[in-house]
Structure 1
Amino acid sequence: MSVVQFMVSLDLTVVNVGLPRIGSGLGFSEVGLTWVIHAYALTFGGLLLLGGKIADWYGHKRVMLSGLGLFGLASLVGGLAQAPGQLVAARAAQGIGAAALAPAALALLASTFPGGRQRVKAFGIWSAVNASGGAVGVLAGGLLTQYAGWQWVMYINLPMAAIALALAWRGIAADQPAARRGRPDVLGAVLATAGAALLVFGVIRTDRYAWSSAVTVSTLAAAAALLVAFVYVEKTTSRDPLIRLSLFANRSVAGANTFALLFGGAMASALYFVSLYLQRVLGGSPARTGVEFLPFALGVVVGSTLAVKLGYRFAPRTVLIGGGTLAAAGFAWFGLMRADGSFLVDVLGPSAIASVGIGLCLAPTVSIATGGVAPHEAGIASGMLNSTRQIGASLGLAALGTAAADRSGQSLTPQALSDGYALGMTAGAVILVAAVLIVLCVLPRPGHGGTGGASAG
């Protein structure tokens, strides 16, 4: 299950460094090239809730294996693409596969390790692999693009999908689908998927249309209307609802998902801004940029390992507060980046602090969000958490990217660019502080009910 999550996380970032060569190789326009990223984010973020429910309905192992097969096939098609439309379609298919396998894998992890020290250890391993996948994706993307060709940012998924299929087939016991309480809520599934997809779509298009433009406002308003309609249907339907809205009455579920929304936006902006700073301001090559992300990846692993050790002694809520505070401090340091800066001072130092803090946050967030959920709802709970984090990443990156672009203006000088990136990272620090305040105010203290105690760790 960790191999599965590593592959999903890696695919969110592996193509970023290779985008210029993908554009020139297939003849993308400047605007069209962004859809190599957006096609994956749109289908992945929009279909996660439905993927989690399908996993609950038909069995987590079965759905995860199906998602892996689709993901691997789409990666092969993407590597063989000869035209822009073919690659964008393959990336969308990858997102569909990821939306099926990611919540199923997380639900299997939660049900296999329901509590105690083994749960702490399992989620620590999973979170280290999850976060390092995003950072290693930047490294792998740079090296593969420069030395093997952009096609290998797609082909790299094939051996990982094959390994995950073999391990899952032999090592994971088949689980029984949850007993269905009625006919599937097809209308709710359509509304939730369309609303989430349209929300992500509206946000990612702010690189072309301002937040106040008629296009953006109307798109986001339509997304809000669909999501409101979804809530109404879930409250009134006589069918088996896509999600039980009373889950949000659980302070642990509500608090963990709100934290994940803010945390996802900050983390996505870090990978984006730091990658651009290393290449456009400090003048690094794609391969060198990838190598310079290694300390960040290692820091996440260190933080996740510390989360396991601390999880034996402290409640997940306490670890989450410490990790969020440490990550915010690292982001604030990133906010001091300069046009005449250096890798050692402006990147390595803050990377060490921020990455350890990020690693500390991952396992407690997942453990809290799924610890108080019934086994038959594990898939939808994990899908909801993944969807929240993905939407947070899209919202955060779009908002902070817009702010950074406004600060830089039309100038592409190193000074203007570094000013914009620094503003984006400072805003990320503020977002993380808000996330820590959410934990302090919403998550129950140990001994006060919910899943905030050590037993949920």
Structure 2
Amino acid sequence: MLFITLTQLVQSIPLGAGINSGQAIGKALGASPLASAWVCASYPLTQGSFVLIGGRLGEIYGHKAILSAGCVWWTVWALAGGYSRDLVSMCFFRGLCGIGGGLMVPNIVALIGITFPPGKKRNLGFALFGAMAPVGAAGGSLVSAVIIQLVHWKWLFFMLGLMALVIFSAAIALLPKDNPVDPDGQVDYVGAYLGVGALILFNFVWNQAPLAGWSSPYEITLLIVSLIHFAGFCYWEMRVAEQPILPFNIWNSPSFGTLMTAIFFAFMSLGIYFWYMNIYMQTVRGDSLIRTGVQYLPLTIMGCANSFLSAWLVPRLPAQVIIGTGCFCIVVINILLATIPAHLTYWAMAFPAMFLSAFTIDLIVTSAQIITSGTVSMNNQGVAGSLVGTLLSYGLSTGLGFAGTVEVHTYDGGKNLLRGYHSAAYLAVGMSAFALFLCFFIRIPKDTREGWGEDDVVAAQRNQA
């Protein structure tokens, strides 16, 4: 538990580093402020896109084996990022590094879900896992700021690679080998191509739109191609695939689809908030990278506590109450961002927003992982981890694309940056308000179970063995 928690911590750092230092790295590579958003978006884009296939590979070949492969892959491309010569190579290396994260996250979740049956121990495990998101993201924001402001940005990537080498090596060496839950299964390569292709193309189109504009023929063409891939993925998985990557029967659980839709919109709006609050501090207020990183500390401190609070609440409150509380906080923090003036002390509006942001991702991610993991059998723990992980990473990245399009159409050609930031935040308000609205239609009862269900054949066989 200790080492897979630290593994999650390390792979969360690049997200916070991209949010806080994306503009500075992009500028050093000669990129425009709009193009620099790709420094942030490239990592969660591929991480979210490859989570589904990562979970399925873990079910077939063993979750530890795929986690180990992801660790090695992640380390190599994290180190390679330090040798980037332009924005394209930087985003390329960060995207490849994100693939490693996509292999790691669902198998970390699956190892927790398989090792600990439903109950207090599993909830504690997911609380530790969830706490690493704010610690890693906010910690990465501050650490990257110190490195980039005091030395050269390349040392950020060398530091990440060396840290990963130490922690991942210990995790690979000490984690016990697990038996694959579906050793006779097959990888649905057609479904993997259609799913990953659809996710990457759709996200690329929206994140590239602020730069290329919707009048560009390739934007419209790629958007249509991505939608065709989505339709093909759904048809293939539902009607053709013998062993689908994403078994559609998991959507039969009451309110499960509504829950997933709500948290996806919540994650999109949350990604918008973090990115635009960050560039507001740096471009409008003129805060340094280090000062910006320090101002994220309320998220780190309260985020840790709230992950455990979420684990404590799951057996005591219905899911819609916990998720709805997180969505409500996202609405509030984006309203604060959408109305914040150019010159105002940090303590008046930015600090309350940062404080409340700790009640968003931590309540939603930890409770969603616990609820989703408890919804499926032991045999599908990889799928459970994949789905929430996909929605989190992919939502954070995709939201930036939608917000960037709104920004470039409202900031008066760059003459009124604050207006563009406010407009993007209002879009996030709408997204989070929709997520909050959906919470009223979620009906998932409190999960007070202790131990595996009697109908879980795989769990019963493992316990007997």
Q: TM-score, normalised by structure 1?
A: 0.89
Tell me which residue corresponds to 1:71. 74
Structure 1 residue 422 corresponds to structure 2 residue 425: no
Alpha-carbon distance between aligned partners in 2 of 1:184 and 1:15, rounded to the nearest angstrom: 32
Alignment partner of 1:148 is 2:142: no
1:82 positional shift: 4.6
- Superposed, 1:166-177 pairs within 5 Å as 166-177=169-180
Q: Which moved more, 1:359-368 or 1:9-18?
A: 9-18
Does structure 1 residue 346 correspond to structure 2 residue 345?
no
Q: CA RMSD in A?
A: 2.6
Q: After alignment, is 296-305 or 338-347 more displaced?
A: 296-305
Instruction: Provide the C-alpha distance between the structure 1 equivalents of 2:33 and 2:285, rounded to a whole number of angstroms.
Output: 23
**What is the distance in 2 between the residues matched to 1:214 and 1:284?**
39
Cα pair 2:315 2:448 within 8 Å, conserved: yes
Number of equivalences:
448
Deviates more, 1:20-29 or 1:429-438: 20-29
Equivalent residue letter for 2:239 = T
Q: Does 1:247 align with 2:214?
A: no
Change (3 A) 1:394 1:23: closer
CA distance in 2, matches of 1:155, 1:395: 28
The letter for the 2-side match of 1:430 is: G
Residue identity opposite 2:223 in structure 1 = L
**Partner SS for 1:438:** helix
Structure 1 residues 297 and 36: alpha-carbon distance in aligned structure 2, compared to 1, 3 A threshold: same
Gaps of 5+ in 1: 447-451
Query: Hey, what does 1:383 align to over in structure 2?
Result: 386
- How big is the shift at 1:11? 1.0
Distance 1:159 1:182, change over 3 A: closer
What is the aligned partner in structure 2 of residue 276 from structure 1? 279
CA deviation after TM superposition for structure 1 residue 340, in Å: 2.3
- Describe the shift of the 1:49–1:310 C-alpha distance in structure 2 as closer, same or farther (beyond 3 A): closer
Q: In the TM superposition, what are the counterparts of 1:317-336 in structure 2 within 5 Å?
A: 317-336=320-339
In the TM superposition, structure 1's runs of 4+ consecutive aligned residues that sit over 6 Å from their partners are: 29-32
SS across alignment from 1:177: coil
Report the Cα offset of residue 217 of structure 1. 2.8
Letter in 1 for 2:127: G
1:310–1:319 Cα contact (<8 Å) kept:
yes
Contact 2:59 2:183 in 1 (8 A): no
1:204 aligns with 2:198: no
The answer on whether the counterparts of 2:314 and 2:447 sit within 8 Å (CA) in structure 1 is no
Measure how far apart 1:184 and its partner are. Answer: 3.0
Greater alpha carbon shift after TM alignment, 52-61 vs 183-192? 183-192
Post-superposition offset of 1:9: 2.2
- The farther-off stretch of 197-206 and 393-402 is 393-402
Indicate the residue corresponding to 2:122 in structure 1: 119
Which residue in the other structure is 2:447 paired with?
453
Q: Give the percent of matched residue pairs that are identical in Structure 1 and Structure 2.
A: 23
For 1:135, which of 138, 145, 148 is the aligned residue? 138
Tell me how far apart the structure 1 counterparts of residues 393 and 215 of structure 2 sit (CA, whole Å): 23
Partner of 1:444: 443
1:361 aligns with 2:364: yes
1:263 aligns with 2:266: yes
- Tell me the alpha carbon deviations over residues 16-42 of structure 1, each in whole angstroms, 9 at most, x when there is no partner: 443455345555577765544444344
Task: Decide whether aligned partners of structure 1 residues 107 and 236 sit closer, same or farther in structure 2, where only a CA change above 3 A counts.
Answer: same
- How high is the TM-score relative to the length of structure 2? 0.88
1:449 paired residue number: none
Partner amino acid for 1:239?
Answer: E
State the Cα distance separating 1:283 from its structure 2 match. 1.0
Q: What residue in structure 1 maps to residue 407 of structure 2? A: 404
* CA distance 1:368–1:255, shift in 2 (3 Å): farther
SS in structure 2 of the partner of residue 156 of structure 1: helix
Q: AA paired with 1:410? A: G
